[in-house]
Chains A and B, each alone.
Chain A
């Protein structure tokens, strides 16, 4: 790693001031499980790491009306151990459990997972399917952006210079709605997703009212598959309906190159993941 400065602000105000002062080469440091690899491989021109872990405003999981507010520093271990998450958005705990292994989950954070914007980031597809947004703060104020609009592509996010992701706002699905996430990997644990799918479904009288399907890992950017979602809406979802929607989901994809796995295989697995996520979400809705 190249030499850099390090500082550990104690408040959000102090952090955004430091980030504004240090300018271009300053990066927030959360769990470090992504950024340290970038620094070791000399792919990031960082001159200063602003360790945000002492900032109290970035912590905690709370219910705020019909949404959950998850602090940016919440680790994957905390996500999967939270009874509040388990009761309100179990899909987030499920996605966190798919990631890496205990040691990385003990350090890696939800804020880092979103800001790193790796195509295979496991929390991103379910967060988008749920209609989540991120709360951002800078020296000049606060704003809220949908996760779908925030993640622009592989390692690209709509963050402004000097901004810190403070928290993620996740709408809690109403009683007749549910979200499920399925991912395929080369390894059972420790392997990143080769492809993944999240499905959010709501129902009314045994018929699907609203559907959102989001694909992860296969393309540079998480993709909404509107056609397949539209196909599900108004139907009573069966195995065959899910299968047809899954097939629709993979037409016209532009998969990123993955040296480990062929495009053909990943497309096929994407289809299976969509089918699985749709059927799981539907079973949950009708429970």
Chain B
């Protein structure tokens, strides 16, 4: 069965007519062409498909697109303002926290979501925040450092207010 949905993705409104079984991940990649969100395990285990749903990080493979009707989604494409990278993105570049890049969009979004609610995280808190994200190029050290560096470079004006985990 198909359903009509309206969803705001990276600040833009989209209307779509989609089957109930379409995951948010497939909707973003295949219907909207936003391929920054990666498809890894497709079972909620690897973190490469993580996006922000009303500011909260979720595995987009574990959400149906029909469930986000009327909601707001932020993908990796929505972080930079024009040519200006988000602080977390810039920190990943500067710290060399990227190798193959497959885990990077999810890691960056998890880092951003953490800093939105906790601007001065400890190393343990950073590790906890990215604990649902697998990196197979063994880059965790640099990733933790990048999020730490982003926190240090952040000033009050850059921080948005974030939320944690309510089942819609």
Binding site for B on A (CB under 8 A): 1-6, 29-33, 36-37, 39-40, 49, 51, 53-54, 73-78, 81, 100-107, 109, 188-190
Contact = CB atoms under 8 A, between A and B. Distances in A.
B145 interface: no
- Counting chain B residues whose Cβ lies within 8 A of the other chain, the interface size class is 20 to 34
Ordered nearest first, which 4 A-B pairs have the shortest CB separation? A77-B165, A101-B132, A106-B165, A6-B20
Given A6-B3, A37-B43, A103-B59, A53 B132 contact: no
B166 A78 contact: yes
B57 interface: yes
Contacts of A51: 66-67
Interface stretch (B7-15, B31-39, B44-52, B74-82): B44-52
B151 interface: no
A107 B167 contact: yes
Contacts of B61: 36
Contact of A107 (B1, B20, B58): B58
A49 B20 contact: yes
A104 B62 CA distance: 9
B58 A5 contact: no
A106 B1 contact: no
Contacts of A81: 164-165
B165 A1 contact: no
A2 B47 CA distance: 24
Nearest to A76: B165
B21 A3 contact: yes
A190 B131 contact: yes
Contact of B62 (A1, A36, A76, A78): A36
B1 A189 contact: no
B167 A73 contact: yes
Contacts of B62: 31-33, 36-37, 104, 107
A201 to B, nearest CB: 30
Given A107-B165, A109-B167, A190 B45 contact: yes
Contacts of B110: 102-103
Contacts of B47: 101, 103
B160 to A, nearest CB: 17
A40 B57 CA distance: 22
B21 A2 contact: yes
Interface in B56-110: 56-59, 61-64, 66-67, 110
A6 to B, nearest CB: 4
Contact of B165 (A30, A36, A102): A102
A191 to B, nearest CB: 10
Contacts of A100: 132
B67 A5 contact: no
Contacts of B42: 40
B129 interface: yes
24 contacts: A2-B21, A4-B21, A5-B1, A6-B1, A6-B66, A29-B64, A31-B62, A36-B62, A36-B64, A37-B43, A39-B21, A51-B67, A53-B67, A54-B168, A78-B166, A101-B128, A102-B57, A102-B110, A102-B164, A103-B50, A103-B132, A106-B58, A107-B58, A189-B131
